[in-house]
Structure 1
C-alpha cells in the first residue's frame, strides 16, 4: 500500500452506505468501514473538498445467470443514507442504477467541472460497487485512491481479490489514516 500524494482537488466518493444495503445492526467489519468513512467525510468537508454520496436505486435491465436483483418497488427508506453519513447541502448526491457510480450518472462531468483530478473511493461492496466505480473512474482519467479499511464486502474473498489483484492496477491503495494524514499535512504547509 502506497499513497504517493493527494492531488490539489480530490473528491471523496462514498458508495452505497444506505439503509437498504447496510441495514442495522452493523457487523464488525461494516462498523469499522462506517467509522472510517465518517472520518474521511468530516475531513473533506472541513477542507471544502467535494464529497460524493452515492446510493443505488435499481439495476439496468438485462439477463444474467445470477437472478438476484433489486425489486421493482424498493422498500421505504431503502435509498436513505445511514445516519453516520449525515448528508449536507454541499455534498454531491448521486443515485445510480448500476454497480458503478459513473456509467448511469453525470458524475464524471460534475467532478471535472469542479477541477477534480483524483477520487478516493469508499463504501460497499468492495467487489461490486466500489470496484465498478474504481474501474469507471480510471477509464474516465481520474487518479484513483482506494482506502481498503473504508470498504467491505459480505464475501471476504471478493474483498481480498479486489484489494490484491484489481486495485493495484487501477490506482493506489492506502489506509484511511494515510489520507487523513495527507490532508492534515496540507493545513500545516
Structure 2
C-alpha cells in the first residue's frame, strides 16, 4: 500500500525559482536538468490529480541584497544579467489554472499574495521543489510552517549551490519540518 502523504485537491506543488538565472547555474547534488524534469513530472501528475501548481520566480534585478559576511550572488565585476534572467524556463509547462508568484527576496510568502492564493483554493499541504534548496526553498518552507501548512519536500526535485548544504537541509532540517520524499515516492502517492 502506498503511503498517504496528502490529498491532491488540498495540495499545491510550489516550484521555486525555476528561471534562467538559476537553471543556468552549476548545482549540486542534482543538475538543473534533473530538477526541472522532476518538477515537470510532479506538476503534470499533481495537476492531473486535481492539485494546484504554483510557479514562483524572483526578480533578480530587484533582489534584496543586504550586507553579509559571505554574500551569495553574482560577482559585481561580472556582466549584468540579461532581462530574461528572471523568466521561468519554458521546459516546465504552465497552465492558465496555475498560480504565478513574483518575489523580490528569498522566500515566496513575504510581500506576495501566495498565502491568499493558497487559502482561496483550500490548500493545506505544500510540496516544495526548486532552486536553491537552502535559499528559496528553505525560506519558503520556514514561512509556510509558521502559518500552518503541512510540508512535503521533493528531495530530488530541488538542488543547491553545494551538495553539503542541500544534504544538511534534506537530512537534518526538513525532516523536522515535514516529510522528505523522492519524486518517485510522491508520484507513487498520486497513484502513478
Q: Give TM-score scaled by structure 2 length.
A: 0.86
Are the counterparts in 2 of residues 15 and 121 from structure 1 also a CA contact under 8 Å?
yes
Deviates more, 1:4-13 or 1:174-183: 4-13
Partner of 2:19: 18
Measure the CA separation in 1 of the matches of 2:180 and 2:141: 11
Aligned to 1:6: 6
Residues of 2 paired with 1:135 and 1:103: CA distance?
11
For residue 47 of structure 1, report the CA deviation from its aligned partner: 2.5
The Cα of 1:154 is off from its aligned counterpart by 2.1
Higher relative contact order at CA 8 Å, sep ≥6: structure 1 or structure 2?
A: 2
Q: Deviations 1:123-166 (Å, cap 9, x if unpaired)?
A: 11111111111111111100000010111012111101101111
Q: 2:66 aligns with which of 62, 66, 84?
A: 62
In 2 relative to 1, CA 105–170 (structure 1 residues): closer, same or farther, beyond 3 Å? same
Cα offset, 1:110, TM superposition: 1.2
CA distance in structure 2 between the partners assigned to 1:26 and 1:133 by the alignment = 19
Query: Counterpart in 1 of 2:97?
Result: 90
CA distance in 2, matches of 1:117, 1:66: 35
Q: Deviations over 1:13-44 (max 9, x none)?
A: 00111012212898862221111111001112
Aligned residues: 183
Whole-Å Cα distance in 1 between the matches of residues 87 and 126 of structure 2?
23
Matched, 1:35 2:42: no
The answer on 1:137 being equivalent to 2:144 is: yes
Let me know the Cα RMSD of the aligned residues.
2.4
**TM-score by structure 1 length?**
0.87
Contact (CA 8 Å) 2:27, 2:160: kept in 1 or not?
Answer: no
Unaligned runs of at least 5 residues, structure 1: none
